[in-house]
Structure 1
């Protein structure tokens, strides 16, 4: 693939493997490589959805997400977040949580870092599952020009004309899951509600400021047509655009957090060493997700392969269901990864077949800018 886009990922991968080798020998190197592969396989749908949002951001906010955002993804979600969860669950201060993580106690030891993190999984799954479920429902209930699984997408789009149907379905699902699957229903209800509130707040604010910026842009264009605009115009537009970019940035960070839950928990089935997890999931995995996101944006892949975004959102729906079912039953992380990859590859294959069929008929196969904008009206 393009070395300019994936060069840093290759370099970070090589460096991480060397550090793992020096830290724990060949076993640590192998575990680090396995974790990197696990994270990339679980997060390809994350990269596709990131790209759909990133296309709506200015160049400045794209750079912020691809620099500061990646640091948050690496150190925040893959290293600090598990320590924070264990600290809260076991009533430990940060130093004690780090010390416990480095002790490498057996996973079946009730005082071990891995055991405590797994004990907190229902809350984690409820928060992340509700966030991703809302993302999927808002997408699938929106009418769009192109449909992939038309037999189900078109009826669901018609159902989506009912106001707030996605919120109603999400709340009903949360109540049922908390009632029948959770050992501690109240804890799961609170965590799931926070996931729902976070989605509505961040996504809503992002849409609000983006629409405000678009309205101001249209107003300034009208002023230009009539005559010179006053001195306050450009700064007001920049401010509105900045707010829209900021909330889309927050949205992407929360989205990345929701996607990373399964990888972080699944990593403990491979190793409980936080250093190896940080190297494999954080550095190797997160860097490749970043590179895949950049590749999709710069190459216009979503416009060329019109069903790819559909496959990613169906993968999100599957991941949301797996996380929510995980409140009561453990689902193997390999299954999670394979389901996501299957949706992505199926959508890609369908897109290629569509392009060949339309090209043979002399029809344009690439999505227009207006079609892409219409698809992204609801993230």
Structure 2
């Protein structure tokens, strides 16, 4: 089952790591490995969400999402989007950006390094909003209760996430951005650039969130119409047009999943800039990670086992928050990619370990409860 589900992911991983060695030596190998682990760790919650929606779809639409959808996710968001970010931030054409990345790496590195403050501000704000919206939501299951309970109460204040994000952006612009790191060790004032880029990241997050909410609303409307049609068919004895309604619902599900995939892809792509500026290594690492999103989604649909590890979503979002902070700090200071990648892995591993401990504690409690019931039954029988 594991090999059948993850076989293609294992193959792509092997090819990606070999290509990294040929392209960038063992340093390239390490960067791609870190990016792959980072992308995979951030994709756990993506896979869980995808699987929960995908279970409602027919086999045909599941296949469409897992084939066409993964092509969009890999080639669209993880290959094209990094080029667009570099092209816009460095103010050059996309073709020129690719040409520089492949033919003149030194010049490309200089452009990306000089553009890094704007990239970091844009990505830092986007990731920070994802983290804040998660941490301020009142959830039934809490991982770090001592922290999440008071934050959930504060989250009842409208627009709190946006206010905090803007405050963080202002502080970053007045501190890190006034002495931003550039190529050659130089430092310049990039306060205005950071402010504009940060606001753009915030706007992008709100647009993506709005589109996700729009498609989710459409999906709920279609499901409600289908339910009403079923009730009407039962009352009148008429045959319900199941194919048309199911097709509409599945179509909106597909659109909704694609928008969700895009929003989840932002954190991986933006976070990758905190690890490396090399577009080839970035594409290899994120491509490998995207394959595991597909495999994890398929595994969840077929088995549903990762749903038991309830803290994984928390760990992924804490990793996103850590990446946001790291990106903003790197406007002025350089942080080694090993540190950046390790933070996410440690948080995911910690949340997984906490989930395992929770499951064992629940199993033990159920065992004691069942044992007490058996003794009660024996006593009453005597």
TM-score, normalization by structure 1 = 0.79
1:203 aligns with 2:199: no
Separation of aligned partners in 1, 2:315 and 2:207:
26
**Structure 1 residues 192, 313: CA separation in 2 closer, same or farther (over 3 Å shift)?**
same
Q: Is the 8 A contact 1:319 1:336 kept in 2?
A: yes
Matched, 1:57 2:53: yes
User: In structure 2, do the counterparts of structure 1 residues 232 and 166 end up closer, same or farther at CA, with 3 Å as the change threshold?
Assistant: farther
SS in 2 for 1:267: coil
Conserved in 2, the CA contact under 8 Å of 1:123 and 1:192?
Answer: yes
- The answer (yes or no) to whether the contact 1:87–1:93 under 8 Å persists in 2 is yes
Q: Which residue of 2 aligns with 1:377?
A: none
Find the counterpart in structure 1 of residue 359 from structure 2: 355
- Alignment length, in residue pairs? 350
State the distance in 2 between where 1:355 and 1:314 align: 21
Contact persistence 1:75–1:282 (CA under 8 A): no
**C-alpha distance in 2 between matches for 1:228 and 1:131:** 52
Cα distance in 2, alignment partners of residues 119 and 77 from structure 1: 23
The corresponding residue for 1:2 is 2
Q: Return the offset for 1:230.
A: 8.7
Preserved CA contact (<8 Å) 1:128 1:320: yes
Partners of 2:126 and 2:201 within 8 A in 1: yes
Superposed displacement of residue 359, structure 1 = 0.9
1:128 aligns with 2:123: yes
**Counterpart of 1:374?**
none
| Distance change >3 Å, CA 322–CA 276, structure 1 → 2 | closer
1:82 shift after superposition: 4.0
Q: C-alpha root-mean-square deviation of aligned residues, in Å?
A: 3.1
Alignment of 1:158-307 (within 5 A): 158-182=153-177, 183-207=189-213, 208-227=217-236, 235=244, 238-239=247-248, 241-264=250-273, 266-268=275-277, 272=278, 274-275=279-280, 277-278=282-283, 280-307=284-311
- Shift in alpha-carbon separation, 1:75–1:113, aligned structure 2, 3 A: farther
Once the two structures are TM-superposed, the CA of residue 302 in structure 1 deviates from its matched residue by 3.7
In the alignment, what sits opposite 2:146?
151
Structure 2 spans left out of the alignment, 5+ residues: 178-188, 369-382
Matches of 1:312 and 1:344, distance apart in 2: 6
How far apart are residue 32 of structure 1 and its match? 4.8
CA contact (8 A) 1:85 1:120 kept: no
Name the CA shift for 1:226/1:199 in 2 (closer, same or farther; >3 Å): farther
Instruction: Give the structure with higher Rg (CA).
Output: 2
> Which residue of the partner structure matches residue 344 of structure 1?
348
Tell me, in whole angstroms, the C-alpha distance in 1 between the residues paired with 2:237 and 2:168. Answer: 55
**Where in structure 1 are there 5+ consecutive unaligned residues?**
107-111, 365-379
Which structure: greater helix fraction?
Answer: 2
The 3-state SS of whatever aligns with 1:163 is coil
Matching residue of 1:33? 29
1:239-294: CA deviations, max 9, x gaps?
Answer: 355335313412321321332223245234xxx5x55554x324434323443444
CA contact (8 A) 1:101 1:113 kept: yes
Q: Following the alignment from structure 1 to structure 2, what is the Cα–Cα distance between the partners of residues 4 and 95?
A: 38
Question: Contact 2:16–2:285 at 8 Å: present in 1 too?
Answer: no
Distance 2:341 2:133 in 1: 23
TM-score, normalised by the number of residues in structure 2: 0.79
User: Aligned pair in 2 of structure 1 residues 77, 113: CA closer, same or farther (>3 Å)?
Assistant: farther
Residues 332-357 of structure 1: CA distance to partner in whole angstroms, max 9, x if unpaired? 22222211111111111111111111
Aligned equivalents of 1:201 and 1:230: distance in 2? 40
